[in-house]
């Protein structure tokens, strides 16, 4: 009898322990799962939207409208945001861009958010076309003794890649719009503009003509790359012919890009005179030389026609 009571007691103890263990496991599942999500959120690709956080505001220092755009981004890891224009580089908060526009202007601002899982792009049309001066908040200028000026420098990379034209001379007054135009040399192509004070991998514009408003010193680099592999120049063909069957033509054939070709046309009949070289393939193309023998740099395939008097 005593043994039966002891056995029942042990069974009740086991059941109680099982219930306690089950409750403990459920408690762990209930509390640790949200905590794990809180401290170790799952990774995700970026999402991005753009919205105007301030403006338009008229700045009486520059007579331009200030518009601040904020990029709202989600994603894990924290996405990096790049704008296609930021007239307030060095003074803006993270994921913010300042755009300065004249009255009646518009601009399509674009931004890319990227992390290790991918990227996303958003755009927003900015406009001051419908903004009346009385409707815009006026930012009173700070009292200053003189107008601030800044230095804008630019250089090609590599040095032989191309040349740069700058619309303004240093020093440049704040608020002035400056246009830099990059022109590639033979054998190179323009890739992008970069800012020497920013990450070298970040492009600030992929347009050869880059316009921005001066609000600080800038050191800009026009990045060029060879258009053909170095040491492997392209081959171009120079075709020459004449409707005059009694003519001797020389200089046609295949040339490497950058070489110089000399084409010559001589009549076999003394009474028939050379008139000009024309751009073919037909005989009515534009005149390219009045000399029976002329030299030019080979940069493309060409069809040249020697025209004689009849």
SS (H, E, C) the chain: CHHHHHHHHHHHHHHHHHHHHHHHHHHHHHHHHHHHHHHCCCCEEEEEEEEEEEEEEEECCCCEEEEEEEEEEEEECCCEEEECCCCCCCCCCCCEEEEEECCCCEEEEEEEEEECCEEEEEEEEEECCCCCCCCCEEECCCCCCCCCEECEEEEEECHHHEEEEECCCCCEECCCEEEEEEEECCCEEEEEEEECCCCCCCCCECCCEEEEECCCCEEEEEEEEECCCCCCCCEEEEEEECCCCCEEEECCEEEECCCEEEEEEEECCCCCCEEEEEECCCCCCCEEECCCEEEEECCCCEEEEEEECC
Peptide bond into 273 cis (omega under 30): no
Residue 214 has which token pair? 């001066």
Stated pTM of the model: 0.35
Q: Give yes or no: residues 132 and 81 share one domain.
A: yes
Q: Give yes or no: residues 170 and 214 share one domain.
A: yes
Give a yes or no: residue 143 inside a domain: no
On whether the CB atoms of residues 166 and 209 are closer than 8 A, the answer is no
Nearest CA to 153 among 131, 141, 137, 170?
170
Give the pLDDT of residue 134: 47
Give a yes or no: residue 117 inside a domain: yes
Q: What is the dihedral of CA 228, 231, 234, 236, to 10 degrees?
A: 150
CA gap 4, 56 in Å, rounded: 88
**SS3 at position 169:** coil
Q: Give yes or no: residues 160 and 134 share one domain.
A: no
The 10 Å Cβ neighbour count of residue 175 is 17
Domain encompassing residue 299:
235-308
Residue 262 has which token pair? 């000399």
Q: How far is CA 39 from the centre of its chain?
A: 37
**SS3 at position 7:** helix
Give a yes or no: residue 289 inside a domain: yes
* Domain finish residue from 201, 226, 251: 226
Q: Give yes or no: residues 196 and 118 share one domain.
A: no
| Residue whose pair of structure tokens reads 């030019």 in the numeric block | 296
In this prediction, the residues of the chain whose per-residue pLDDT falls under 50 are 134-136, 138
On whether the CB atoms of residues 227 and 186 are closer than 8 A, the answer is no
Q: Give yes or no: residues 15 and 86 share one domain.
A: no
CATH number, domain of 216, equals 2.60.40
Q: What is the dihedral of CA 101, 103, 108, 111, to 10 degrees?
A: 30
Q: Give yes or no: residues 208 and 168 share one domain.
A: yes
Domain total of the chain: 4
50-61 pLDDT per residue, tens? 999 888 888 777
Q: Rounded to a whole number, what is the largest CA-CA distance in the chain?
A: 145
Residue 100 has which token pair? 């300065």
* Domain finish residue from 138, 156, 187: 138
Q: Give yes or no: residues 180 and 211 share one domain.
A: yes
């Amino acid at each position: 009898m005593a043994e039966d009571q002891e056995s029942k007691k042990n069974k009740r103890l086991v059941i109680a322990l099982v219930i306690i263990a089950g409750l403990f496991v459920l408690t762990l599942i209930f509390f640790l799962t949200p905590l794990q999500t809180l401290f170790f959120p799952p990774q995700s690709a970026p999402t991005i939207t753009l919205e105007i956080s301030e403006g338009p505001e008229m700045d009486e220092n520059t007579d331009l409208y200030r518009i601040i755009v904020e990029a709202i981004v989600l994603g894990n890891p924290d996405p990096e945001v790049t704008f296609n224009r930021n007239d307030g580089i060095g003074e803006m908060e993270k994921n913010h861009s300042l755009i300065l526009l004249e009255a009646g202007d518009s601009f399509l601002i674009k931004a890319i958010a990227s992390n290790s899982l991918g990227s996303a792009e958003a755009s927003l049309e900015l406009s001051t076309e419908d903004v009346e001066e009385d409707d815009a908040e006026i930012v009173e200028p700070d009292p200053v003794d003189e107008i601030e000026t800044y230095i804008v420098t630019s250089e090609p990379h590599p040095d032989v890649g191309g040349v740069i034209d700058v619309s303004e001379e240093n020093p440049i007054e704040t608020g002035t719009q400056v246009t830099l135009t990059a022109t590639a040399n033979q054998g190179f192509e323009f890739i992008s503009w970069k800012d020497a004070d920013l990450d070298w991998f970040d492009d600030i514009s992929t347009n050869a003509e880059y316009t921005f408003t001066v609000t600080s010193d800038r050191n800009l680099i026009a990045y060029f790359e060879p258009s053909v592999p170095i040491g492997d120049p392209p081959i171009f063909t120079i075709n020459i012919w004449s409707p005059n069957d009694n003519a001797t033509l020389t200089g046609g054939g295949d040339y490497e890009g950058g070489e110089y070709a000399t084409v010559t046309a001589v009549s076999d009949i003394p009474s028939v005179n050379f008139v000009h070289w024309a751009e073919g393939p037909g005989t009515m193309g534009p005149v390219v030389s009045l000399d029976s023998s002329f030299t030019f740099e080979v940069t493309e395939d060409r069809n040249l026609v020697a025209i004689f008097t009849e």
